Amino acid sequence: MAECGRVDSNTSGHTMDKSITLPPDEIFRNLENAKRFAIDIGGSLTKLAYYSTVQHKVAKVRSFDHSTKVHDKLYEIAVQEEVTARLHFIKFENAYIETCLDFIKDHLVNTETKVIKATGGGAHKFKELIERKLGLKVDKEDEMTCLIKGCNFVLKNIPHEAFVYARHADSEFRFQTTNPDIFPYLLVNIGSGVSIVKVESEDKFERIGGSSIGGGTFWGLGALLTKTKRFDELLQLASKGQHSSVDMLVKDIYGGSYACLGLTGDLIASSFGKSATADKEFSKEDMAKSLLHMISNDIGQLACLYAKLHNLSRVYFGGFFIRGHPVTMHTITYSINFFTKGEVQALFLRHEGYLGAIGAFLKGAEEDNPNQYSWGENYAGSSGLMSVSPDMNPMQRARSGTFDMLEMDRLERQLVNLPLLQDASSYIPDTVDLTEDAQAREYWLYCFEEALDGVVKRAVASQPDIPEAAERAEKFRQKYRHKLQTLRHQPFAYGSLTVRSLLDTREHCLNEFNFPDPYSKIKERENDVALKYYQKAVKSLDELSWEDRQFAIVKGVLAGNVFDWGAKAVSEVLESNPEFGFEEAKRRLEVYPGSLLQGPPHRCALFFVDNSGVDIILGVMPFVRELLSRGTEVVLASNSGPALNDVTNSELQILTERIAAMDPVIKSALREDRLTLVQSGSSSPCLDLSRLDKVLAMVVRERQTDLVIIEGMGRAIHTNYYAMLSCESLKMAVIKNSWLADRLGGKLFSVVFKYEVPAGKAH
Amino acid sequence: MKIKNRKTKETTFPWFGMDIGGTLVKLVYFEPKDITAEEEQEEVENLKSIRRYLTSNTAYGTTGIRDVHLELQDLTLCGRTGNLHFIRFPTHDLPAFLQMGRNKHFSSLHTTLCATGGGAFKFESDFLTMADLELHKLDELDCLVRGVLYIDSVMSSGPLECYYFENPTDPDQCAEKPYALENPYPLLLVNIGSGVSILAVYSENNYKRVTGTSLGGGTFLGLCCLLTGCSTFEEALEMASQGESTRVDKLVRDIYGGDYERFGLPGWAVASSFGNMMSKEKRESVSKEDLARATLVTITNNIGSITRMCALNENIERVVFVGNFLRVNTLSMKLLAYAMDYWSKGQLKALFLRHEGYFGAVGALLELLHPS
């Protein structure tokens, strides 16, 4: 009984605004290579989507041929241009359509593009304008199909896409963990009417019901009752009203509650029941509030009845009635809680407004097979979720003229779950949710802001021969500082705020300004130095008794992990005291762990490594060597792309070859395929075990991995500290941050050594 | 003391059952027609006066009304024969009613007044202080179920209580037909008063409230008063009967130009209730009658949707609609009959009962005579 769609735009007017407050080239980025345009025109907002390619500078390492010539350097670092795919989504008010189309026309170089996919209620209205301005043929796509396609895409590719809304909680938004199995779910789209759609798989969905009482009813009836024209103003009125003066409550009929049915006195018995009189005046606010409750409760009730009938527990709400409005998210949430007694939670989506445009784009890009890749939200290029709550963000009312953006990068590798997670659906990578922990948030935001000067300095130093590096570094500083400021006010902008997301945002911003690997030279130097000590280190270990060796090996990994440019306390020591060495680090360690590696050997160990230099070469490698000599196969997982001084997969390939040349144990293990190097699929100093390289997952399965070792603060403390694995695991790190050490009840340079055996799997 | 009396076969006259709702008070009164000469002599003056007042008038004060067409004559109840009268007045006139009870010395009769509905709880102390009457309070849904089953059973001799609409999807062929409600279980009972309660009834003593909605008769009247300036249910219905809701509502065909075939939505279906009212020009072009009609259609269809979902969830195929929202409201009844039939593809049958809003009061009366 309802349309799926949007509101026609006759209420919002046709006046075209020629002024855009932001420079358009910062909005419509990478237009030169843009293709596969799609547009979704709703009642008041237009969403544009296109595919483009981005030229990036990437640092590549390449081994010298050491047999023919003696090189003073370990390996060659070459900065190369690399082309990656990126999806751009831009949302703006309909008033800017003409200006935007003109801008696109002027900057569109690619002549292959012939069509633009279009959806949304306004698509037919602007068809002629689009065809005339862009010279592209408008190809209309079914609105609901686009919506569902878009919804599947964001649920699969964007972590923390869905959230629960809790108005009075410490954090307004509670993000849901990403569950790889997104189906089945119910999508309740509240446009002018309501459509209730059951989605069972990528291509299978069905409109199972709907209602004519929707956003259009709120708007239309609200306009009649209050003489208020705009939807937003009606919501404003509603947020100030008291519905009990208009509605007949249970207590108005019973004098109190209707206890034997469990109906409380404040429950609405009859919406507008008190206005059945000709001789009383009611305030606009009160009527608007009553209307909002009436409609939200009604939709919530129907959604619950459909969810129950089809046995579905995941119910997402979208449409212009919801679109980020805290008032409606609150009333819908309330209604769902009431009707399901808390069994079903109302879920909302961060990128709800983009679903139609994303879906239309995907329809047009089917030949590129976008669904066979993994995509990631680019924090540098995306605006993030804004609070439209008037209390939280008074500036929001004057938002017209601003543009909202979402950018997604095509990831080189397809990402999947680590098969060894005990329960993938409940796995949360991050240890502390800074969205909820205000004290920790305060500290980390301060910490990242403090560290910014150093990062900028390092970035400039990494490109000494490029004069404009300083200028770019300055732009990076501004961008990242602005991100930090946004996050201070709106910690929920990109999902749950975590140390990982702060680090990833910084990496995205550095890449944005072509600082692909600021630590490449430091890493090289440190790798070089560490390699020189390798043989000596191994020899001294080999001289120890078995028991002393186990002890020394573990101590070595931890001492090696102290060498970390990402940790403020350490980078200060390293900056000021270049003589600071491995032995010194060992002396600084506060606690020594007990011995490991008793009992029968493991079949295969998966080792997530951390830093370059001493850490990987003098810490990790002797450990690996010991495992190999016990008959345990080893899979070394390192980053696919650079992040801080973390060792990358390509660097590790070279280092391992060099070590193999010195060490027969490693050499034979490589030859016999007992030591394997894989990339993690990540370019982060942290580790999300639910987004790992598909090949890694395959290797882990094939080798019947029965031990997982995770090393370092980023991977074992900030993330995965609480991760539950289905096999034995060891999490090792040195706490290189005094605030965190305090929090955990230890001292700076305390050791975390967490060895866990899942119940029933004693080694 | 009065409760003890009720245990004996001869419950003291007068026999009343009362249902005090959010909008209306419903009163049923049993008028014994088999009074013996002996009884006549013993009958106190106050009782006679009340009987005469109620039975010789069809209107009481400015707002009280006796629905004469619903009167059940020659009814045997508890060994007595007489007529059952159906009276209603607005809940806000309850004080006047209590004043009348005081004037007529109702309390001197030492009868038990069985009352249900929320007002039995809310106004309990007013009954005591204003009319010196102690209420025997009863649960409204118990009374409703009991009343429905009773009235249906006693009506089997005369014109049937229950009816339905034949050919509900064809306006020209649509006609009211009697329906024998034998083996009524399971049954979905939808009571549309100010608000709506939906019950699943499995036997006389086994029922549950499935859900309810606040969009009911009170919402229709409340919105109509705000939108059109009317003040009574009859006025609102009269306006609705003359209006055209399609000027107010946005239909599927207004958006898609016809049917939305992909989802099996016919062009005439309402896509957005009051959806056309988002536009200023259209707001200025609609009449009060159109608005009243749209309000009626919106509320009625919504009740239809929720009912249909409950019927599916509870796996029940027969739905009985009762409550005063349906009084003189053929428009809504036909709409409900249509909606049940169309959207269920003929699976669901909408049934209606002639005594629409009085079942709670009847149930209260039965409780007086046969305490459960």
Nearest to A248 by CA among B212, B364, B332, B290: B212
The reported pLDDT for the residue numbered B64 is: 95
Domain finish residue from A329, A349, A369: A349
Contacts of A91 (CB under 8 A, 6+ apart): A45, A46, A47, A48, A353, A354, A357, A403, A404, A405, A406
The reported pLDDT for the residue numbered A249 is: 97
The answer to whether residue A271 sits within a structural domain is no
Residue contact A309–B298, C-beta within 8 A: no
The answer to whether residue A718 sits within a structural domain is yes
B300 touches chain A (CB under 8 A): no
> How many whole angstroms separate alpha carbon B314 and alpha carbon B318?
11
User: Which domains can be identified in chain B, with CATH numbers?
Assistant: 15-143+359-369 (3.30.420.510), 162-244+288-353 (3.30.420.40), 249-285 (no CATH)
The reported pLDDT for the residue numbered A578 is: 57
Same domain, A186 and A335: yes
Mean pLDDT across B184-208: 95
The answer to whether residue A385 sits within a structural domain is yes
Residue contact A3–B23, C-beta within 8 A: no
The answer to whether residue A424 sits within a structural domain is no
Asked if B17 and B365 count as a contact pair (C-beta separation under 8 A), the reply is: yes
Contacts of A157 (CB under 8 A, 6+ apart): A374, A375, A376, A377, A408
Same domain, A286 and A332: yes
More confident residue, B89 or A753: B89
Please list every residue in chain A whose beta carbon sits closer than 8 Å to the beta carbon of residue B215: 213, 271, 294, 298
Average model confidence (pLDDT) across chain B: 92
The reported pLDDT for the residue numbered B8 is: 45
Same domain, A535 and A477: no
Which residue is it, tokens 């894989």? A678
Same domain, A311 and A340: yes
Same domain, A344 and A362: no
CATH of the domain at A203: 3.30.420.40
B26 touches chain A (CB under 8 A): no
Please list every residue in chain A whose beta carbon sits closer than 8 Å to the beta carbon of residue B239: none
Same domain, A616 and A723: yes
The reported pLDDT for the residue numbered B261 is: 84
A745: left (phi over 0), alpha (psi -120 to 50) or beta: left
What are A551's strand-pairing partners?
Answer: none
The reported pLDDT for the residue numbered A279 is: 82
Domain finish residue from A446, A481, A513: A513
- Taking CA A154 as the corner, what is the angle to CA A148 and CA A156, rounded to the nearest 5 degrees? 100
The answer to whether residue A697 sits within a structural domain is yes
> How many whole angstroms separate alpha carbon B366 and alpha carbon B372?
9
Same domain, A217 and A339: yes
Same domain, A73 and A169: no
10-residue mean pLDDT profile of chain A (763 residues): values are: 40 44 70 87 87 85 71 80 91 86 81 86 87 91 93 92 87 82 94 95 94 96 96 93 96 92 93 90 97 97 96 94 90 95 93 93 85 89 67 38 83 91 91 92 95 94 91 96 92 92 95 91 91 92 89 86 69 62 64 58 96 94 95 97 94 96 96 97 94 96 96 95 94 88 83 84 55
Domain finish residue from A463, A495, A513: A513
Same domain, A587 and A610: yes
Residue contact A272–B222, C-beta within 8 A: yes
Please list every residue in chain A whose beta carbon sits closer than 8 Å to the beta carbon of residue B218: 248, 269-273, 276
CATH of the domain at A43: 3.30.420
Same domain, A220 and A330: yes
The reported pLDDT for the residue numbered A349 is: 95
Tally the domains of chain A.
4
The answer to whether residue A19 sits within a structural domain is no
Same domain, A723 and A575: yes
pTM as predicted:
0.89
The reported pLDDT for the residue numbered A395 is: 39
Same domain, A645 and A718: yes
Please list every residue in chain A whose beta carbon sits closer than 8 Å to the beta carbon of residue B230: 278
> How many whole angstroms separate alpha carbon A330 and alpha carbon B50?
54
Domain span at residue A373 reads: 24-157+356-411
More confident residue, A299 or B112: A299
The answer to whether residue A268 sits within a structural domain is no
> How many whole angstroms separate alpha carbon A226 and alpha carbon A292?
13
The answer to whether residue A506 sits within a structural domain is yes
The reported pLDDT for the residue numbered B311 is: 97
The reported pLDDT for the residue numbered A4 is: 41
Q: How far is A173 from chain B (nearest CA, A)?
A: 29
β-pair type (B15-20, B113-116) = parallel
The SS3 call for residue A120 is: coil
Query: Has B140 been annotated as catalytic?
Result: yes
Please list every residue in chain A whose beta carbon sits closer than 8 Å to the beta carbon of residue B23: 270, 273, 276
Mean pLDDT across B309-323: 96
The reported pLDDT for the residue numbered A389 is: 39
SS (H, E, C) chain B: CHHHHHHCCCCCCCEEEEEECCCEEEEEEEEECCCCHHHHHHCCHHHHHHHHHHHHCCEECCCEEECHHHCEEEEEECCEEEEEEEEEEEHHHHHHHHHHHHHCCHHHHCCCEEEECHHHHHCHHHHHHHHCCCEEECCHHHHHHHHHHHHHHHCCCCCCCEEEEECCCCCCCCEEEECCCCCCCCEEEEEECCCEEEEEEEECCEEEEEEEECCCHHHHHHHHHHHHCCCCHHHHHHHHHHCCHHHCCEEHHHHHCCCEHHHCECCCCEEECCHHHHCHHHHHHCCHHHHHHHHHHHHHHHHHHHHHHHHHHHCCCEEEEECHHHCCCHHHHHHHHHHHHHHCCCCCEEEEECCCCCHHHHHHHHHHHCCC
Asked if A546 and A612 count as a contact pair (C-beta separation under 8 A), the reply is: no
Q: B158 pLDDT band (50/70/90 cuts)?
A: low
The single residue of B140, B289, B356, B367 carrying the catalytic annotation is: B140
B353 touches chain A (CB under 8 A): no
Q: How far is B212 from chain A (nearest CA, A)?
A: 9
Q: How far is A198 from chain B (nearest CA, A)?
A: 12
B252 touches chain A (CB under 8 A): yes
Asked if A324 and A386 count as a contact pair (C-beta separation under 8 A), the reply is: yes
Q: How far is B209 from chain A (nearest CA, A)?
A: 8
Residue contact A213–B298, C-beta within 8 A: yes
Residue contact B225–A277, C-beta within 8 A: yes
CATH of the domain at A447: 1.20.1700.10
Nearest Cβ partner for B231 among A142, A219, A277: A277
The reported pLDDT for the residue numbered B305 is: 96
CATH of the domain at A672: 3.40.50.10880
Site from B188, B198, B214 to mutate, A interface, most A CB atoms within 10 angstroms: B214
Provide the angle, in degrees to the nearest 10, between the axes of the packed helices B288-314 and B233-242: 100
Find residues 29-88 of chain B whose CB sits inside 8 Å of chain A. Answer: none
